[in-house]
Structure 1
Amino acid sequence: MKRFLDVLFSLVLLIILSPLFLIISILIKLNSKGTVFFTQMRIGRNNNLFKFYKFRTMRVGTPNVATDELGDAKSYITSVGKVLRKTSLDEIPQLINILKGDMTFVGPRPALYNQYNLKELRTKAGVHALVPGVTGWAQINGRDHNDDFQKTELDRYYLNHKSLKLDLKIVLMTVFKVLRAEGILEGGNKRPQVMEQAVEHKESMSI
C-alpha cells in the first residue's frame, strides 16, 4: 500500500511541479557553473547504495561531506542555493528517487556513503531495514541539531511505531517546519552543545 501511494503521489507531484522544476533548473544554470542536479551515493535499505538526487545548491569543487562537517558551509553555497535550501526546494528531485523505489516519502533520511558512524548505529538499531525517506521523525524533531546517536534513537522510535497515521503527522509537521525554516544549520553554525554530545557519545563508545 505504501509503495502504491509513493508511486501515485510522486508521479502527480512531478507533473504538477514540472514548471517549477524547469524554472529552478534555469536559475541554477544562470547562477553558477556546473550541473543542475547534485548526485551523491547514499545508503539505502539494508545498507545498499543508491544514487541520490537534489538540485545543486553548492559550487563545483565543494568537499563531498555532510554539510554540518564543512567549516564554513555558507562560503560554498550559491545565491540561488541559499533560497533553495531555506525553502527545501532543493529536495524536489528526490521524487525521482521515490519513483525508482530508492526512497519513500517518510522514513529515515539516507546517510552519506561515508557516514560510517551513523551507518553502524542504524544497523545495530535495525533502522537500516527501513526504506529511507524525504522526511522523517528525526527531521521534525531537531533535524540538523541532532548528532548521529540522537538521529538513530529518533529513527528507532519511527521503526517501532511506524503507521500511516504517524506518516501523515510527519508530513504535516514537515510542511510546518519548512515554512518556518526550523532546524537548519550550516557548517560552523552547529550548536556547541550538540557537538559536545557527539563527542561524549564517541568517548562512551570507546570505553
Structure 2
Amino acid sequence: MNSRELANLHERWTAYQNLPELTNHWYWRPGWRAGRQFYTWHLTFERQPELHHLVTDLQRQLTLPGLDLVPLDGLHLTMQGLGFTDEVNNSDIEAIVAETQRRCTKLPPLELSLGPVDPDAEGVGLLVRPWHRVEQLRTTIREAIGAVWQTVPEAAEGFRPHVTIAYSGSQAPAEPIRDRLNDLRHQQPARVTIRQATLIALRREHRTYQWATVAAAPLTGQ
C-alpha cells in the first residue's frame, strides 16, 4: 500500500476510536435544497460484480441504527464538481465535456482496489488505491475545465479518493458501529476497472444520492 494511503488510513482509524457519536451526513450544504441538481464528474461502478459482492457482504453486517446503506447503483467516487444545473449554461457544459473527452482519451483505464473499510463521523467508506491514478484523472478533468473557464471550481488540494457504502443518518452513538467495523477491517479488497469518467446531474432524495448521466469521457489510453 502506498505510504500516503497507509498513513491516512491509520490516522482516520485512530481518530475514529475516540469518536463519541456520528455526525448526520444529510444536512444541507450551501446552495443545496430539495429538488436542486448539481453537475459533477464522478466515477461510477456499474457492472462491477467483485465490488458489489464485497459491498453486499459488508452492508449485511452494517445494518445498524444510525447508518443509511448506499444502494449498489448509488456507489460513486466524487471527482470534481462544476456547479448547480440552474447556474451553468448548456454551451459551457458542451465545451467542458468535449475538452474532457479529448484529454481523457489519452489516459488508460483505471485499475483500482477498493477496501478495506475506512470510517469517519459521516459514514463508512472503502479505501481507494492507488491514489495517484485517481489524482491524475482529476487533474486532467480540472485542466479541461480550466481550458473553458477562467476559474476551476473547488480546491485542487484536500482531495481524498473514497467510496462510501453507508452514510450516517443521525447523531447515533459510534461505539456499536466501531465495534462492528473492527471485525471487518481485514476483509479482502475488491478490484475494479474504470473505463470512463461520468458527468452527472446529482440530486438528493430520501436520504440517498441519485443522478442522471449527462455525458461520459472514455479512458482508452490512445
Smaller-chain TM-score bracket = under 0.3
- Whose strand fraction is larger, Structure 1's or Structure 2's? 2
Return the TM-score normalized by structure 2: 0.25
Q: Which structure has the higher relative contact order (CA within 8 Å, separation 6+)? A: 2
- Whose helix fraction is larger, Structure 1's or Structure 2's? 1
